[in-house]
Structure formats: C-alpha cells, structure tokens
Structure 1
Amino acid sequence: MSKPNFNQAIEKIDRVNAQDPNTENYQGKEHPKELLYSQRMTETLLSFEPQASKELQIAARAQHIARWKIDRNTYPMDRVGYLKWREELKKMHAQLTSEILQDVGYDDDFIDRVSFLIRKKMLKKDDETQTLEDVICLVFLQYYFEDFAAKHPDEKIVDILQKTWGKMSEKGHKAALKLPLDPKSLSLIKQALA
C-alpha cells in the first residue's frame, strides 16, 4: 500500500471542481464557481485554524465538490425541498471525496472521518465539525453575503443571519465581526444580533 498523498487528494478535488460550468468573476477573471469556493474554504480554514488536521483540510476543500451536479430546482422550492437537496448534496460530496481518498491511498478510518466532517455530523459536539461550520459561515459572510442580501428583503436576511450565527462558535463570532464587510452588511448583522 503506498503512502497516502495529501497534495494529490487536493489536486484531484480541484480537478473535479474545475469542471464546474458555472463561473464567478473575481478580480477581473472568470473562475469555475466551486473551484473558487473550495480555495476560499482552504484559505479561510488555515487562517482561522492554522493547526487544522489533514482530515479537516480535505473536508473543507471538498465541501462543495461537484455541487452543480444536483440542481436545487430538482427539489420542491420550499424548506423541506431545500433540506432534502442539502442532504443529497452532503451524501454526494462525501461519496466523491471518499473515492478520491481511496485512490490516493488513505485508509478507511481517515476516509470515514472526512465523510463524517463533510456530512457535518455532531455540530456543536465535535470540535472539527464545529470548525468546519464556522469556516463555511465565514466564507459565506465574506464572499457571498452582500450579493445574497441584495436579492432578498431585509427581514429574511436578518432571519438567515440569526440562524447562521446560531450555528457558529464564540471563536467564529469573533472572526465574523472582524471581516471586511460593507456598511449595509454590517448593519444587517447588527440588527440580527440585537
């Protein structure tokens, strides 16, 4: 059995995400959307938790692997439909990542741990799951919140922010309040926390 190769695992995850047909313009250049997202996840994780385990680093990188393959529109456009869609995505992300990790020589224990994290099991009880959730929330707030907020009424945004805040740890809250957010986003966050 060859020694597991972390860099190879990351490269393979990136190769899948580079196939995303959806793109995002960032710093004047078009990027495959999920590739950009996964790079932001890694960057945010390593600044938030520099000692993150390899399992956690891979889970963060693969958080949205091939997300475009299961379209939100294939589920009812209500809360139940949304939750079913999210559950299916988590299963797919865990499955694809497990296959990649097997390919590059990781053992079952390592693979099971990464799947556990991707499926966000034991939130609030498992430190690494909590760290992953914090990083997901921080990436959302820093890179996606402003556009998202512009498309919805303030009351809905305040409600979403309160739910997001509830999933985060104290350390996550502190990091969120230090993000370079625009005044409108900051005022919505303040309303949510009031």
Structure 2
Amino acid sequence: MVTEGFQPSDPTRFAEAIRRFDEENARDPNTIEVDGQRLPRELVYARWLSEWVVRLCPQAGEALRLAARCQHLRRWEIPRESFPMDRAGYLRWRTTLQRFHAEQSGRILREVGYPEEMVRRVQELNLKKGLPHDPEMQVLEDALCLVFLEHQLEDLAAKTSEEKLLNALARSWKKMSPAGRTAALGLHYSEPLRGLLARAIAMAEGGETGAEEP
C-alpha cells in the first residue's frame, strides 16, 4: 500500500510483492460480503490490515507495510479443525500458522528480489517477535486488534457466549497501545457491544482476563 510521503527502496519491487501477496490471498475459497460483493476473505483482511497500519502510523516503513499485507497469507490452508479442539491444539495451530505465514512471505519476497535483511525483518513481524518492545510490532498488533473490532466482532458476538466474548475483548484491549485504544473507542458499535466493550475494559484493567479460547 503506497501512500503520500512513503518511498519504498524499489517501487517496482514493492508493488510486485504486494501484487503477489494479493494474488495468493485471492485464491481463498472462503468469501465475505463487502459493499454488496463476495470477495476472498483473506484478500479483504489483508487490505483492511494494511489500511489500519497506515492510519495508525502514516510514516510506516517498507517492512511493516509488507508484513501487514502478508500477515495471514494463505491462512485457509491450515484450518483450526486440523488440530485438536482444546487449548493445547489451539496454541499449536497458532504457532504453526505464524511459521507458515513467515515461510510463505519469505518465499515471495526472495522471488521478487528483496535482500535477506528485509526478508528477516518482515518474518520477525509475521512471527510477532519483540512484542511489546518493538514499536513496529506494536503498530501491527494494534491494527490486528482494530480489524477484529471493526469488522469481525459483530459476527463473533452472534455465535459466541458472552463470557468468551468478554475475554476476547479484554485480551484485545490489553494487547493494544494507548493509540490503538483511542482508535478502538472511536469505532462505531451497537449499544449491546459498546456495553460489552466497557465491561471488557474494566476486566482488562482489573487483570481479570482468561486464557485464549481454543
């Protein structure tokens, strides 16, 4: 995603990397409706994430912009159901996904000509290394949480118990920086969800969050 003031090290190479990431994600057989159109879910997700990264950090560098576009690259190929449906299985699934995304992003970045230093940096961001001490990683984490709140929360609320939803919201709140939290509070929510968010914030600030659900 190129914005005013951003100058990639090689504009043609950067554009080709983004094109390749989008091409891969456009193969997602799962679709969601956006403005009346059914579109590949991971393609849309990558665009949402890119948009939030730039909104939060207009001066975002090349590695961060690349990482945002490939953070869930080909995610549908490793479904949750391929691991045991318990907490241990959930954690193994998450770890496997992160490594898979990093491997796939590295492959494409090398193919379009990026040096190993840039490949490693994007993969560090894919793997969430350095959170919360890495400022770029924190921007990416904020963006991930904000995509969840803006685009996924309502659907999750329709099929999730209140307790699980509160825990998910509280965990998201704890992960976010002050800037991310300010952005989260500025989003539009239904009255029931705004009430749940307020309760989740109180839980997070009181240290009452539970473990991530499987």
Give the C-alpha shift of residue 3 in structure 1. 8.4
Give the C-alpha shift of residue 187 in structure 1. 1.1
Alignment root-mean-square deviation, CA? 1.3
Q: Secondary structure at the match of 2:32?
A: strand
Alignment of structure 1 residues 42-57 onto 2, 5 Å: 42-57=50-65
The verdict on how the C-alpha distance between 1:3 and 1:51 changes in structure 2, with shifts beyond 3 A counting, is closer
Give the C-alpha shift of residue 27 in structure 1. 1.2
2:45 is matched by which residue type in structure 1? Answer: Y
Q: Secondary structure at the match of 2:100?
A: helix
Q: In the aligned structure 2, how far is the partner of 1:3 from the partner of 1:27?
A: 30
1:115 is matched by which residue type in structure 2? Answer: Q
Aligned residues: 193
Give the C-alpha shift of residue 136 in structure 1. 0.1
Match of residue 210 from structure 2: none
Match of residue 23 from structure 2: 15
Give the C-alpha shift of residue 25 in structure 1. 1.1
Deviations 1:14-38 (A, max 9, x none): 0000000001111110000000000
Contact 1:59 1:118 in 2 (8 A): yes
Q: In the aligned structure 2, how far is the partner of 1:3 from the partner of 1:41?
A: 20
Q: In the aligned structure 2, how far is the partner of 1:32 from the partner of 1:3?
A: 26
Q: In the aligned structure 2, how far is the partner of 1:185 from the partner of 1:3?
A: 42
1:92 and 2:81 matched: no
Identity %: 43
1:182 and 2:190 matched: yes
Alignment partner of 1:32 out of 40, 47, 51: 40
| TM-score after normalising by structure 2 | 0.87
Give the C-alpha shift of residue 164 in structure 1. 1.1
Contact 1:4 1:104 in 2 (8 A): no
Q: In the aligned structure 2, how far is the partner of 1:30 from the partner of 1:72?
A: 23
Unaligned runs of 5+ in 2: 1-9, 203-214
Unaligned runs of 5+ in 1: none
Alignment of structure 1 residues 28-177 onto 2, 5 Å: 28-177=36-185
Q: In the aligned structure 1, how far is the partner of 2:139 from the partner of 2:53?
A: 8
1:164 is matched by which residue type in structure 2? Answer: S
Match of residue 192 from structure 1: 200
Q: In the aligned structure 2, how far is the partner of 1:155 from the partner of 1:74?
A: 25
| TM-score after normalising by structure 1 | 0.96
Q: In the aligned structure 1, how far is the partner of 2:79 from the partner of 2:181?
A: 31
1:59 is matched by which residue type in structure 2? Answer: A
Match of residue 4 from structure 2: none
Could you list the runs of 4 or more consecutive aligned residues of structure 1 that deviate by over 6 angstroms after TM superposition? none
Q: Secondary structure at the match of 2:113?
A: coil
